Amino acid sequence: MNQANLVFPHQLFENSPLLNEKGDFILVEETLYFSQFNFHKGKLAHHRGSMKFYESYLKKQGKFVTYIEGKERNADVRELLEHLSGIGIDTINYIDPTDNWLHKRIKSSAKDNEIALNRLENPLFLNTTSENQPFFRSDKKKFYQTSFYKDERKKRGILVDSRGEPEGGKWTFDTDNRKRYPRKKKAPNIFFPERNEFHNEAYSYVKKNFSENIGELNEEVFYPIDFKSSKLWLQQFFEERFQEFGDYEDAIVKDELILNHSVLTPMMNVGLLTPSYVLQEALDFAKENDVPINSLEGFVRQIMGWREFIRGVYEAVGSKE
């Protein structure tokens, strides 16, 4: 059996389940993520930088890696699987992409090219696909986020007492999280990561290959593109902004982009941080530092409530919308 492990731009996991599989790795700038639309240069640079970092990470783990750039023919997974079949690959190991179009292309192309598929669960979310199925049943006409969120809290024993009741007496403190930002209050300082070799290479790559795309590359603001800086970014949020996250969750201030928000989405959505890691770190920090319940619950709700819920809705009825 000749195997290959496919990695897409949003699957850059430190403890990837693919690390336990046989076969070489193929890291691909899939067309759906790089050239399907006129994507913003900043998005492309973040993908490129984080993927090139991940390539180096895999090589340090002793893996052989083939890197396919977005302008190459094989960046289209349909072309890639045809190519792999032609060179004798008969089995593809891959992580469920939680992407309707990409998954359809993988399955149809594998069938056309007589390639067996080994699908692995996606660490990008807390729940597996099968764990979501009872709530997102096909016979349901509507899905309610609050019901889903309560079930998740009870199932995982998070912010509930021994009787299964919510800590603080309420399931959600959303109504407490709408304070106006005080006029003279100074917003927390934000410390962006230092620019590194992967940022530099990504900026040059995007300028060369996607010069006509919309947007500009910010020469001063860089989001984390590796595991270490992503974890430091998370810790900075805990130490500088978590205490008042709940109070000012809905606040808007002119010329302030972040205030007390975590800005974890870029890192979580490519796999540099997983929700299981973020959630546990938040619970541990809150316990040790007396983080107010409205801040902790509000943060937990965004990850365990909304993020997981929208994923479930997408997989249940997304293609119908």
CA nearest to 97, candidates 315, 296, 251: 315
Q: Give CA–CA dist 97/271, Å, rounded.
A: 11
pLDDT for 321 = 54
- Note down the domain range covering 84: 3-120
Q: Are residues 62 and 116 in the same domain?
A: yes
Is the pLDDT score of 210 beyond 60?
Answer: yes
Answer whether 34's CB lies under 8 Å from 70's CB. Answer: yes
Choosing from 120, 140, 167, the residue where a domain stops is 120
- 221: pLDDT confidence band, cut at 50, 70 and 90? confident
Determine the pLDDT at residue 1. Answer: 66
Is the pLDDT score of 246 beyond 80?
Answer: yes
In a domain, 182, yes or no: yes
DSSP string, 29-51: --HHHHTSS---HHHHHHHHHHH
pLDDT tens, position by position, 251-298: 999 888 899 999 999 999 999 999 999 999 999 999 999 999 999 999
Alpha-carbon span 68 to 30, nearest angstrom: 8
Alpha carbon distance 97, 88 (integer Å) = 24
Which of 64, 89, 120 marks a domain boundary?
Answer: 120
d(Cα 7, Cα 67) in Å, to the nearest integer?
10
Average pLDDT for the chain: 95
Does 236 reside within a domain?
Answer: no
pLDDT for the residue 270: 98
Is 269 among the domain residues? yes
Tokens encoding 255 = 């010329």
Closest to 77 measured CA to CA, from 134, 7, 129:
7
Query: Domain containing 26 — which CATH number?
Result: 3.40.50.620
The DSSP 8-state label assigned to residue 166 in this structure reads B
Query: Are residues 276 and 139 both part of a single domain?
Result: yes
Q: Are residues 184 and 256 in the same domain?
A: yes
Give residue-wise pLDDT tens across range 117-128.
999 999 999 999
- Strand segments, DSSP code E, in the chain are 3-7, 24-28, 65-68, 91-95, 116-120
Co-location of 144 and 271 in the same domain: yes
73 and 161 fall within a common domain = no
The amino acid sitting at 144 is Y
Residues 139 and 283 in one domain: yes
- Supply angle C-alpha 154, 310, 152, rounded to 5: 5
User: CA separation (Å) from 179 to 20, 35, 174, 207, 317?
Assistant: 48, 41, 11, 42, 35
Number of domains in the chain: 2
pTM summary value: 0.94
Quick one: CA torsion of 126, 132, 134, 140, rounded to 10 degrees?
A: 130
Last residue of a domain, one of 60, 86, 120: 120
Domain with 167 in it: what CATH number? 1.25.40.80
The amino acid at 3: Q
